[in-house]
Amino acid sequence: MSIADNLLKYKKELEGENVELIAVSKYNDAAAILEAYAAGQRIFGENIVQELVEKQAALPQDIQWHLIGHLQTNKVKYIAPFISLVQSVDSLKLLAEIDKHAAKNKRVIDCLLQIYIADEETKFGLDHAEAIELLRSEEYLAMKNIRITGLMGIASNHAEEKQTKDEFQELKSLFDGIKVSFFRKEDSFKELSMGMSGDYKLAIEEGSTMIRVGSNIFGARKIKHYKA
Ligand SMILES: *Cc1c(COP(=O)(O)O)cnc(C)c1O
Cα–Cα distance for residue pair 57/161, rounded to 1 Å: 40
| Amino acid symbol at 94 | L
Which atom of ligand 1 sits closest to the CA of residue 212? 10
Residue predicted with more confidence, 221 or 206: 206
Domain ranges of the chain: 3-213
- E-assigned strands of 16-62? 20-24, 43-46
The pLDDT value recorded for residue 228 is 46
- E-assigned strands of 14-145? 20-24, 43-46, 64-67, 85-89, 109-115
pLDDT in tens, 17-76: 999 999 999 999 999 999 999 999 999 999 999 999 999 999 999 999 999 999 999 999
Please give the distance, rounded to the nearest whole angstrom, from the Cα atom of residue 152 to the centre of ligand 1.
12
What is the percentage of the chain residues whose pLDDT exceeds 90? 91
Return the half-sphere exposure (C-beta side, CA atoms, 13 A cut-off) of residue 120: 16
The pLDDT value recorded for residue 67 is 98
pLDDT in tens, 104-125: 999 999 999 999 998 877 668 9
Q: Which of 48, 44, 45 is nearest to 75 (CA)?
A: 48
Please give the distance, rounded to the nearest whole angstrom, from the Cα atom of residue 66 to the centre of ligand 1.
12
Fold of 3-213: TIM Barrel (3.20.20)
Please give the distance, rounded to the nearest whole angstrom, from the Cα atom of residue 26 to the centre of ligand 1.
8
Which atom of ligand 1 sits closest to the CA of residue 216? 9
Please give the distance, rounded to the nearest whole angstrom, from the Cα atom of residue 24 to the centre of ligand 1.
6
pLDDT in tens, 157-170: 888 999 999 999 99
The pLDDT value recorded for residue 123 is 67
Measured by CA distance, the residue closest to atom 6 of ligand 1 is 214
Q: Which of 184, 113, 181 is nearest to 150 (CA)?
A: 113
Ligand 1 pocket test, pick from 10, 66, 68 with the greatest ligand atom count within 8 Å of Cβ, gives 68
Contact between 92 and 137 (Cβ < 8 Å): yes
Please give the distance, rounded to the nearest whole angstrom, from the Cα atom of residue 103 to the centre of ligand 1.
30
Ligand 1 pocket test, pick from 47, 52, 67, 114 with the greatest ligand atom count within 8 Å of Cβ, gives 47
Task: Calculate the average pLDDT of the chain.
Answer: 95
Please give the distance, rounded to the nearest whole angstrom, from the Cα atom of residue 5 to the centre of ligand 1.
19
Cα–Cα distance for residue pair 162/168, rounded to 1 Å: 10
